[in-house]
Amino acid sequence: MITSIDPNAALFRRNAAAYEALLRELRERLAWAVGGGGEKLQARHVERGKIPVRERIDLLLDPGSPFLELSALAGYGLYGNEVPAAGVVTGIGRVAGVACMIIANDATVKGGSFFAETVRKHVRAQEIAWENRLPCLYLVDCGGAYLPEQDRVFPDFGHFGTTFYHQCRMSADGLPQLSAVFGGCTAGGAYIPALSDESVMVEGTGRIHLGGPPIVKAAIAEEVDGETLGGAAMHARVSGVTDYLATTETEALQRLRDIVANLNWPRDSHATRRPVRPPQHDPAELGGIVGTDLKQPYDVHEVIARLVDGSEWQEFKPEYGATLVCATAHLHGYPVGILANNGVLFSESSTKGAHFIELCNQRRIPLLFLQNITGFMVGVEAERGGIAKHSAKLVYAVATARVPRLTVLIGGSYGAGNYGMCGRGFAPRFLFSWPNARIATMSPQVAATVLTELRRGSLKGEADTAALAALDAETRRQFEEQSDPYYATARLWDDGVIEPAQTRDVLGLCLELIDASTPRYAGPSPVYRM
């Protein structure tokens, strides 16, 4: 494609500078997540002879393996910012040549205990592993449920119990579940290794017991120390609860690698992969193109040109329904069908999108949704043209697509546009956001207008101007706060905030996982399959 972007133009430079500020903020927040429980607790952890969680992951992975970390900013802005990364690191990397999901507790964050966001992150990692046919490796160092939050962690579907339910079902479905135990595993925490296919325990620090020494004393008046009750040597030699005893953490991680190396795991096929070609246009220019003002229009072709191989694609129906760009291309050598917003969705763009999804279904091409959408068109003309039904056709096609789907929020994600462009409710395999993204039913300005008009109507001429102004201001504040991408990622509404320039590589890793698992792909999210 011939670009019309001029990196020296005033608008581009203003946009790029504003976007740089967003990237600095993102990197600062990621540093907070990586810092875990802070310097003092990290030092205590190391003094105890334990390895920090991210170093454990480095030691586990093959040298040079990428690590696709998920939802690093879970918990951001919650609990006084005292639960960085929600106390657990999750992500995908290669171990002994096999792509694996890694779920690793950070014991420096409240003893690695589970808050609501920790459970959601753990469950989400399992969902991704299940759908992409990945073995799960649990690096266990956790104090079970965070007790003051037990009502948000324990009783419901999707809470702690579901993590164990998933573990059993995935194992039964042929996906290995393997654990290495580095710290105390009490009660629920004990079931992570106990339900694993194989587990390794580290002597001296690893503990597994249904009830720790204080509970044993209170329940049956038995006085016992932790090592005797649930130490690694006892479990390896007496109870048989664990399968391997390791004298150091490094040895435990090497044992885990040896187990993966002997899984007899099928090699990746990469049948459809073409040679990888970089885009002709620089992905680093994306910030300068999209900017930080969602109201400022740009041509989404310029974004696609910085994501796909050779900046080349085959556009479907380019003369029709132009506000939804539909195109097939290759990304890191893998085929992909792209649906990208270029304005509000009309009936024409909706039916075109539904048609395009059918083509990709037939040709087994995974779908990529690039969301920047205020919604479907409203008004008399649109309603008389059947927008309600035509938009529903797109939503239906998205929901029932027979190929894997990926979504990136590159701008606004509002109203039913979120549904038509495969928002979280439609269970894409992965969903990432850019730091300029916004997600809500509607923008703060529209929400304030709707709510003040409703209030004005119900007061029937007795409207108090000051009260309406206060409602307007409060609604804007609420919608600003809640549509912020960090508000969303903290609550696990996405799989992470990523930089525009990293997007091509992140999507390449996702497409590689999809390619490896597609021959065995069995339909929509397995959570809803039973």
Task: Please identify, using beta-carbon distances, which residue of 1 and 187 lies nearer to ligand COA.
Answer: 187
34 is an interface residue for ligand COA by CB under 6 A: no
Residue range at the interface with ligand COA (CB under 6 A); choices 107-115, 280-288, 300-308, 327-335: 107-115
Number of residues that bind ligand COA (CB under 6 A): 15
Task: Say if strands 313-316 and 367-373 run parallel, antiparallel, or are unpaired.
Answer: unpaired
- The Cα diameter of the chain in Å comes to 81
Smallest gap from residue 41 Cβ to ligand COA (A):
8
Smallest gap from residue 57 Cβ to ligand COA (A):
19
Task: Please identify, using beta-carbon distances, which residue of 226 and 318 lies nearer to ligand COA.
Answer: 226
Residue 175 CA from chain centroid, whole number = 20
Smallest gap from residue 127 Cβ to ligand COA (A):
23
Partners of residue 331 on adjacent β-strands:
334
Q: Select the residue interacting with ligand COA from 46, 147, 276, 359 (CB under 6 A).
A: 147
Task: Please identify, using beta-carbon distances, which residue of 56 and 504 lies nearer to ligand COA.
Answer: 56
Q: Select the residue interacting with ligand COA from 1, 16, 187, 463 (CB under 6 A).
A: 187
Task: Please identify, using beta-carbon distances, which residue of 121 and 133 lies nearer to ligand COA.
Answer: 121
Q: Are 42 and 55 in contact (CB under 8 A)?
A: no
Smallest gap from residue 145 Cβ to ligand COA (A):
4
SS3 at position 339: strand
Smallest gap from residue 359 Cβ to ligand COA (A):
51
Q: Select the residue interacting with ligand COA from 113, 118, 196, 518 (CB under 6 A).
A: 113
Smallest gap from residue 205 Cβ to ligand COA (A):
9
- Alpha carbons 406 and 428: distance in angstroms, whole number: 5
Q: Select the residue interacting with ligand COA from 135, 144, 176, 279 (CB under 6 A).
A: 144
E strand or H helix at 360:
helix 347-363
Smallest gap from residue 237 Cβ to ligand COA (A):
22
Residues 6+ apart with CB under 8 A from 21: 292
Residues 6+ apart with CB under 8 A from 69: 89, 90, 91, 496
Q: Are 233 and 276 in contact (CB under 8 A)?
A: no
Task: Please identify, using beta-carbon distances, which residue of 147 and 388 lies nearer to ligand COA.
Answer: 147
Per CB under 6 A, which of residues 250..309 are in contact with ligand COA? none
- Alpha carbons 109 and 459: distance in angstroms, whole number: 50
Smallest gap from residue 161 Cβ to ligand COA (A):
12
Q: Are 76 and 486 in contact (CB under 8 A)?
A: yes
Smallest gap from residue 460 Cβ to ligand COA (A):
52
Task: Please identify, using beta-carbon distances, which residue of 59 and 187 lies nearer to ligand COA.
Answer: 187
Nearest alpha carbon to residue 49 among 305, 187, 252? 252
Nearest alpha carbon to residue 61 among 73, 71, 69, 50? 69
Q: Select the residue interacting with ligand COA from 84, 135, 212, 213 (CB under 6 A).
A: 212
DSSP for 54-109, please give it.
HHHHHHHSPTT--EEEE-TTTTTTSGGGTSGGGGEEEEEEEETTEEEEEEEE-TTT
- Alpha carbons 528 and 530: distance in angstroms, whole number: 6
Smallest gap from residue 407 Cβ to ligand COA (A):
35
Measured distance between the N- and C-terminal CA atoms of the chain, rounded to whole angstroms: 45
105 is an interface residue for ligand COA by CB under 6 A: no
Partners of residue 151 on adjacent β-strands:
none
- Alpha carbons 463 and 392: distance in angstroms, whole number: 38
205 is an interface residue for ligand COA by CB under 6 A: no
CA distances from 150 to 43, 106, 123, 146, 394 (A): 29, 19, 16, 6, 40
Smallest gap from residue 113 Cβ to ligand COA (A):
4
Residue range at the interface with ligand COA (CB under 6 A); choices 138-146, 459-467, 477-485, 512-520: 138-146
110 is an interface residue for ligand COA by CB under 6 A: yes
Smallest gap from residue 190 Cβ to ligand COA (A):
9
Partners of residue 370 on adjacent β-strands:
340, 408
Task: Please identify, using beta-carbon distances, which residue of 205 and 489 lies nearer to ligand COA.
Answer: 205
Smallest gap from residue 420 Cβ to ligand COA (A):
42
184 is an interface residue for ligand COA by CB under 6 A: yes
Q: Select the residue interacting with ligand COA from 83, 95, 107, 170 (CB under 6 A).
A: 107
- Alpha carbons 391 and 395: distance in angstroms, whole number: 6
Residue 131 CA from chain centroid, whole number = 13
- Alpha carbons 466 and 235: distance in angstroms, whole number: 69
Q: Select the residue interacting with ligand COA from 75, 87, 91, 111 (CB under 6 A).
A: 111
Q: Select the residue interacting with ligand COA from 75, 91, 188, 206 (CB under 6 A).
A: 188
Residue range at the interface with ligand COA (CB under 6 A); choices 92-100, 103-111, 123-131, 412-420: 103-111
- Alpha carbons 336 and 358: distance in angstroms, whole number: 14
The conformation of residue 208, written as its DSSP 8-state character, comes to: E
Q: Select the residue interacting with ligand COA from 135, 143, 206, 508 (CB under 6 A).
A: 143
Tokens of 6: 């001029």
Q: Select the residue interacting with ligand COA from 186, 323, 372, 489 (CB under 6 A).
A: 186
Residue 267 amino acid letter: R
User: Which residues of this protein are in contact with ligand COA, per CB under 6 A?
Assistant: 107, 110-111, 113, 143-147, 183-184, 186-188, 212
